Structure 1
Amino acid sequence: MASPVTADTSRAASRHDLERHIAAAVQRVTNPIEGMFGPHSVSWRINRESALFLGAGRAALLQLAHPWVAAALDQHSSLLAKPIARFHNTFRFVFTMIFGSAPQAVRAAHSLYEMHTRITGDLPADVAGYAKGSRYEALQVPALLWVYATLIESAVIAYECVLPAITPDQKEAYYAESKILAGLFGLPPDALPSDWSAFQTYIAQMFASQALGVSDRSRFMAHHIMTGAGSWIHVPPWYRSLTTEWLPPRFREEFALTFGHRERKSSQRAHRFLPGLYAKLPSTLRYVGPYQEACARLSNRNPGLLVRSSNRFWIGQPHTPFDK
């Protein structure tokens, strides 16, 4: 795989790429009601955990560190005015692809692709290796790959913050399964690192490269997210400290996020109290609504009120979409 510096930045995910991957993914499905992954997958095991919320801030900030992604979010999304809507939109697609039936996952993939075809624009300023006025498209492979990578890696970091560490074999299995999700995003197989080790190398290369960089505008958006501005959520100091801890030092500096003695102590306290607190959560709170809805579907049960309420928190609606 090419390094982020030498990669072809003009390459876009094509409809042919998407349809070819969907066909291959569907062919592997043995029971469509179980979806693309199924209840025995590592993907279900990791992504069912509400602990994923711990990594949402990190993933969001690292996405803002990609100038194309930051410009698209600024110019085409409700991130600043309605940050919760952006949160819901992300998890609505991701959770449908992971926990929905196979037909739901396919419809979600088509809908996401169509949405991305409408997201284009010009960079408003020079950032890192990109010139002001240069063109971006949401379907450009490097940007799609980076968004996918932030979600996959941040999920593992958040999981291991409160639960026993995932074994190397499980990480390999998780990454192998995640390539199905990447294909549903529209990413062609040859754009993906080959295995978990190569995936980690790719991320390290990105962190050190001019493929990422923080502008004044993306810094403003990051601080907007970290304070919960524009939403009913009050982001606690320990969450901000954890998010900052999980960023490379380069991006702590570029985003102007303090990680001094106070923040270190706060994140250390979070590491101590979160696992015990998380272990006491009832399953209705510990597991995300779309996972609970999937379990009800497999048992031929209607999801109850608590599941619908959890769905409203995670995806902004009572049921996983794209059902018809």
Structure 2
Amino acid sequence: MPDLYENLAAVSQKDRQRRERCLAYAREHAVGPVEGLFAQEGMVRRIWREGAMLAAIPPAVVLEVLLPEVAEGVGRFSDYQTKLMARTRRTVYATHALVFGDLSMSIEVGGRIFQLHERVRGGISSRSSEGRAGTRYRANDPAALQWVFATLVQGALTTYEAAVEPLDRDERARFYEESKRWGAVVGLPPEQLPPDWESFARYFEEMVEGALELGDMAKDILRVLFGPPYMRGVARLCAGLLPERWRSAVGLPWDADAKRAYELALGALRRTRHLPPALRYVPAWHQAAARIEAARGGGVSKTTRIVQALDARGWIPAGLAPPEEVMRRCPRG
């Protein structure tokens, strides 16, 4: 579709107009300006509040870069090779800001993501896909956004059910329907998505079975991601949470030793269910609870005050302090 990109200004203008329509949807369906996009007792926060859900991010990243346009965009425009830890911190922050932030924070972070994506465009190289080399892509294309959205939705459900508790069909459907709100704030139109949970599950399976590929660009990204020694345990846990056909295909270990390591790691995550909420739930959830309680005229608990202080110093990995304020206190690279 080369003609689609001949007038980049016109395409960018259409993207911005589309996002404005998406923001109207997000504002209409948000719980409130203080609460944000989601209710504390809703399915999205119920799932993402679990500390064990940090394990959902690596499998989602793996599946994202198996789509050639995502691999090309990350490979050409990202600083992943030199600033892996900083990029990881930004990814975790963005996820929790969209889920647990107030409405203005969620929209602001979604806007930053959209703006960063505006410059990510070009042609797919043979290093990402020999069969699709030369095909034009852009990061704000709804089809690319849809796949990134899908990896996070399905990755969250897979991790939650493996590490916390099983969900029934209605709970999965509610989680999917609610998640459309954060998709909207980054410019993904709800009407672009499959209409219901069953349709989404079919879409995800079709993508896993037929649309993904492991090009050299994706291999390079995954090599950097899982190369450091401290990522070996993460790699084993990630392998077990991936769709079966891609576990060994992406180069992650899945032999008898790796499977035992996965079960041990999963067992450790499951034990977090027995911790008190102060330790079990991510700091961002506590911050959202404190914000809502304060708006209702209530006080702030000692636990929340400690969380806020630690987050402001950059000492916790899943809070709502913007990375630019705390990154200087975090490990570089």
Identify whether the pair has TM-score above 0.5, normalized to the shorter chain.
yes
Match of 2:231?
235
Q: Which runs of 5+ in 2 are unaligned?
A: 6-10, 326-333
- Counting aligned pairs with the same residue, the percent is 26
State the alpha-carbon separation in 1 of the partners of residues 106 and 323 from structure 2.
10
| Counterpart AA for 2:113 | L
Match of 1:218?
218
2:269 aligned residue (266, 274, 292): 274
Q: What is the Cα deviation at residue 39 of structure 1?
A: 1.2
Q: 1:29 to 1:289 in 2, by over 3 A?
A: same
| Counterpart AA for 1:265 | R
Match of 1:88?
89
Q: 1:263 to 1:26 in 2, by over 3 A?
A: same
Q: TM-score, normalised by structure 2?
A: 0.82
**DSSP 3-state at the match of 2:231:** coil
State the alpha-carbon separation in 1 of the partners of residues 19 and 146 from structure 2.
14
What pairs up with 1:133-282 in 2 under 5 angstroms?
133-209=134-210, 211-228=211-228, 234-237=230-233, 239-276=234-271, 278-282=272-276
| Counterpart AA for 1:294 | A
1:318 lines up with 2:321 in the alignment: yes
State the alpha-carbon separation in 2 of the partners of residues 29 and 61 from structure 1.
30
State the alpha-carbon separation in 2 of the partners of residues 76 and 204 from structure 1.
28
Q: Which is further off, 128-137 or 13-22?
A: 128-137
Q: Which is further off, 176-185 or 243-252?
A: 243-252
Match of 2:279?
285
Q: Is the 8 A contact 1:96 1:321 kept in 2?
A: no
Q: Which is further off, 38-47 or 267-276?
A: 267-276
State the alpha-carbon separation in 2 of the partners of residues 319 and 257 from structure 1.
32
Q: 1:321 to 1:195 in 2, by over 3 A?
A: farther
Q: Is the 8 A contact 1:99 1:291 kept in 2?
A: yes
State the alpha-carbon separation in 2 of the partners of residues 30 and 285 from structure 1.
26
2:293 aligned residue (271, 276, 299): 299
**DSSP 3-state at the match of 1:258:** coil
- Give per-residue Cα distances to partners, 1:13-61, cap 9 Å, x unaligned: 7222211121132133453101111212111111111111112211111
Q: TM-score, normalised by structure 1?
A: 0.85
Q: What is the Cα deviation at residue 321 of structure 1?
A: 9.2
**DSSP 3-state at the match of 1:32:** coil
User: How many pairs are equivalent?
Assistant: 307
Q: 1:14 to 1:258 in 2, by over 3 A?
A: same
What pairs up with 1:104-143 in 2 under 5 angstroms?
104-125=105-126, 127-128=128-129, 130-143=131-144
Q: 1:143 to 1:284 in 2, by over 3 A?
A: same
Q: Note the aligned Cα RMSD (angstroms).
A: 2.7
Q: Is the 8 A contact 2:31 2:38 kept in 1?
A: no
Q: Which is further off, 302-311 or 244-253?
A: 302-311
Match of 1:5?
none
State the alpha-carbon separation in 1 of the partners of residues 99 and 324 from structure 2.
12
**DSSP 3-state at the match of 2:317:** helix
Q: Is the 8 A contact 1:70 1:218 kept in 2?
A: yes
Q: 1:195 to 1:262 in 2, by over 3 A?
A: same
Q: Is the 8 A contact 1:89 1:315 kept in 2?
A: no
State the alpha-carbon separation in 2 of the partners of residues 117 and 296 from structure 1.
35
Structure with greater helix percent: 2
Q: Which is further off, 287-296 or 306-315?
A: 306-315
State the alpha-carbon separation in 2 of the partners of residues 288 and 308 from structure 1.
15
Q: Is the 8 A contact 1:288 1:310 kept in 2?
A: no
Q: Which is further off, 33-42 or 9-18?
A: 9-18
Q: What is the Cα deviation at residue 262 of structure 1?
A: 1.5
Q: What is the Cα deviation at residue 272 of structure 1?
A: 3.4
Q: What is the Cα deviation at residue 315 of structure 1?
A: 5.6
**DSSP 3-state at the match of 1:121:** strand
Q: Which runs of 5+ in 1 are unaligned?
A: 1-8
Q: What is the Cα deviation at residue 256 of structure 1?
A: 2.3
